[in-house]
């Protein structure tokens, strides 16, 4: 006989907090989009020629995460398609998220995904890419007059597979007779466009649009509007919403983060059986989200990153003095020898540590050593309470 869970379930079924929690999920499409009128209008006017089946300029959208890029583009897409249907236009607009591994991690997969949008059944591997491109141009020629391709999180695909596929896509028009394609690239990485081959860059960003971060007041409006239908009446006070908006404004105005915070706060209140979300729930939610973020981040790093991080952890544990890059490298080297794995160069390990610094796993401080020499002093930036869990993840990954 297991334990009786009725009490636990009953307590949960008395839901005092949420009316509809889905409204706070990030994949939920809100009814109103606040503080993005300007961007909506600009995207709409850039794409407007599509309603006369004239090729719109390629468009490149960029801005930090959670600034409403995906939301705005999808909104304009839907409106355009509605009009196109009324006018019986042969216009096709498809959205592809390159961040998804099974979509964006090879050129083959991106093409296969595009072909599937025409209802083609493409095997997951096996055909030559040349053949896929040929099929693709045929389909566009035969099935549509204008094809707008939205490549969301395009930086993720380019990072993994290079920018060759973009080059090809931007050149396809020269092979088409009856039809044309336009590209919309979206990136969370604001420096991405400058890393592209200049020819691709100028073609992709015929038009460019930046999405600035939301400020605290704007976030407050977004949160207030979504929480009206997400929470039961009287559950969430203005104080909590204001504080939540302020937190998210500090982490570069990310609306996704703001919504997550509010949702997790509600869940914590619900778990306590409370009838109200408090600022304390919010603070706990903030801590929980930050911990989850760090753990997820660590889990998804490649093996060599795990070796480097494990070396830092070992050094921290036996720390007598400050830790410098050279110390980490020596520990790492020993570890590689013991585990009989390939050892990266000191320079490469330095790069990995710099990446850890960038995502907030460590803090690195540059120290000059005189005569132009420099090193970095490294401190672990993972909260103390998380370290055992992190160690467990690394040991499992590295079979230690």
Q: Which of residues 69-88 bind ligand ADP (CB under 6 A)?
A: 69-71
Contact flags string 311-340 toward Mg ion, x per CB under 5 A: ------------------------------
Residue whose CB is less far from ligand ADP, 50 or 71: 71
Q: 281, 268, 291: which is closest to 239 by C-alpha?
A: 281
Residue whose CB is less far from ligand ADP, 63 or 350: 63
CB of 105 to ligand ADP, least distance (A): 20
Please report, for the chain, how many H helices and E strands are present, in that order: 17, 7
Q: 279, 273, 265: which is closest to 237 by C-alpha?
A: 279
CB of 347 to ligand ADP, least distance (A): 33
Quote the CA–CA distance of 12 and 299 in Å, as a whole number.
31
Residue whose CB is less far from ligand ADP, 286 or 306: 286
Q: 12, 18, 4, 21: which is closest to 272 by C-alpha?
A: 12
Stretch that binds Mg ion, among 26-34, 65-73, 111-119, 172-180 (CB under 5 A): 65-73
**170 touching ligand ADP, by CB under 6 A:** no
Stretch that binds ligand ADP, among 27-35, 140-148, 267-275, 342-350 (CB under 6 A): 27-35
Residue whose CB is less far from ligand ADP, 189 or 276: 189
**222 touching ligand ADP, by CB under 6 A:** yes
Instruction: State the binding partner of 182 from ligand ADP, Mg ion, none, CB within 5 to 8 A by kind.
Output: none
Residue whose CB is less far from ligand ADP, 201 or 256: 256
Residue that is written with structure tokens 């000191």 in the block? 346
Residue whose CB is less far from ligand ADP, 56 or 66: 66
> What number of CA atoms fall less than 13 Å from residue 365's CA on the CB side?
7
Stretch that binds ligand ADP, among 25-33, 43-51, 280-288, 366-374 (CB under 6 A): 25-33
Alpha helices in 21-178 (DSSP H): 37-47, 69-86, 101-104, 107-116, 129-143, 154-161, 164-171
CB of 24 to ligand ADP, least distance (A): 8
**30 touching ligand ADP, by CB under 6 A:** yes
Helix or strand (DSSP H, E) at 258: helix 255-272
Q: At what angle do helices 238-250 and 216-230 cross, to 10 degrees?
A: 130
Residue whose CB is less far from ligand ADP, 188 or 205: 188
Stretch that binds Mg ion, among 62-70, 201-209, 327-335, 357-365 (CB under 5 A): 62-70
The strand pair at 146-152 and 207-210 is best described as unpaired
> In the numeric block, which tokens belong to residue 330?
């020596």
Quote the CA–CA distance of 400 and 209 in Å, as a whole number.
48
**35 touching ligand ADP, by CB under 6 A:** yes
Q: Quote the DSSP letter at residue 244.
A: H
Stretch that binds ligand ADP, among 28-36, 244-252, 274-282, 319-327 (CB under 6 A): 28-36
Measured CA distances, 19 to 10, 16, 127 (Å): 17, 8, 49
**259 touching ligand ADP, by CB under 6 A:** yes
Q: 272, 201, 263: which is closest to 231 by C-alpha?
A: 263
User: SS3 helix, strand, coil % of the chain, rounded to 5?
Assistant: 60, 10, 30
Instruction: State the binding partner of 263 from ligand ADP, Mg ion, none, CB within 5 to 8 A by kind.
Output: none
Residue whose CB is less far from ligand ADP, 226 or 243: 226
**70 touching Mg ion, by CB under 5 A:** yes
For the beta sheet containing 59-62, the strands, ordered from the edge strand earlier in sequence to the opposite edge, are 91-97, 146-152, 180-187, 59-62, 207-210
Q: Length of the chain, please?
A: 400
Task: For CA atoms 37, 39, 41, 47, give the dihedral sign.
Answer: negative
CB of 238 to Mg ion, least distance (A): 29
- Report the interface residues with Mg ion, using CB under 5 A: 70
- Report the interface residues with ligand ADP, using CB under 6 A: 26, 30, 33-36, 63, 65-71, 188, 222, 255-256, 259
């Amino acid at each position: 006989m297991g334990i009786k869970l009725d009490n636990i379930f009953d307590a949960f079924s008395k839901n005092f907090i949420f009316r509809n929690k889905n409204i706070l999920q990030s994949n939920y499409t809100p009814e109103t989009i606040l503080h993005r009128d300007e961007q909506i209008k600009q995207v709409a006017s850039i794409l407007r020629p599509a309603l006369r089946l004239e090729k719109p300029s390629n468009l490149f959208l960029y801005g930090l995460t959670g600034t409403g890029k995906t939301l705005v583009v999808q909104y304009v897409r839907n409106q355009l398609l509605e009009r196109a249907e009324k006018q019986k236009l042969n216009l096709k607009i498809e959205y592809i998220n390159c961040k998804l591994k099974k979509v964006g991690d090879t050129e083959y997969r991106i093409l296969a995904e595009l072909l599937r949008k025409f209802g083609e059944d493409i095997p997951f591997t096996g055909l030559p890419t040349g053949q896929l491109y040929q099929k693709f141009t045929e389909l566009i020629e035969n099935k549509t007059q204008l094809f707008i391709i939205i490549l969301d999180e395009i930086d993720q695909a380019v990072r993994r597979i290079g920018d060759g596929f973009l080059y090809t896509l931007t050149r396809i028009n020269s092979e088409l007779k009856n039809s044309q394609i336009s590209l919309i690239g979206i990136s969370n990485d604001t420096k991405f466009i400058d890393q592209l081959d200049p020819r691709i860059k100028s073609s992709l960003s015929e038009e460019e649009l930046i999405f600035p971060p939301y400020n605290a007041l704007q976030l407050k409006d977004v949160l207030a509007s979504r929480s009206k239908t997400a929470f039961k009446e009287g559950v969430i006070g203005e104080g909590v919403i204001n504080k939540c908006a302020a937190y998210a404004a500090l982490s570069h105005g990310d609306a996704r983060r703001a919504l997550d915070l509010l949702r997790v706060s509600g869940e914590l209140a619900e778990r306590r059986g409370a009838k109200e979300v408090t600022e304390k729930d919010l603070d706990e939610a903030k801590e929980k989200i930050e911990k989850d973020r760090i753990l997820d981040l660590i889990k998804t790093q490649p093996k060599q990153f795990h070796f480097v991080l494990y070396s830092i952890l070992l050094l921290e544990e036996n720390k007598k003095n400050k830790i410098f890059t050279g110390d980490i490298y020596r520990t790492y080297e020993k570890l590689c020898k013991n585990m009989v794995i390939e050892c990266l160069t000191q320079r490469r390990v330095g790069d990995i540590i710099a990446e850890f610094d960038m995502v907030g796993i460590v803090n690195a401080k540059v120290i000059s050593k005189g005569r132009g020499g420099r090193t970095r002093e490294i401190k672990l930036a993972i909260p103390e309470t998380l370290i055992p869990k992190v160690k467990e993840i690394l040991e499992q990954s590295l079979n230690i």
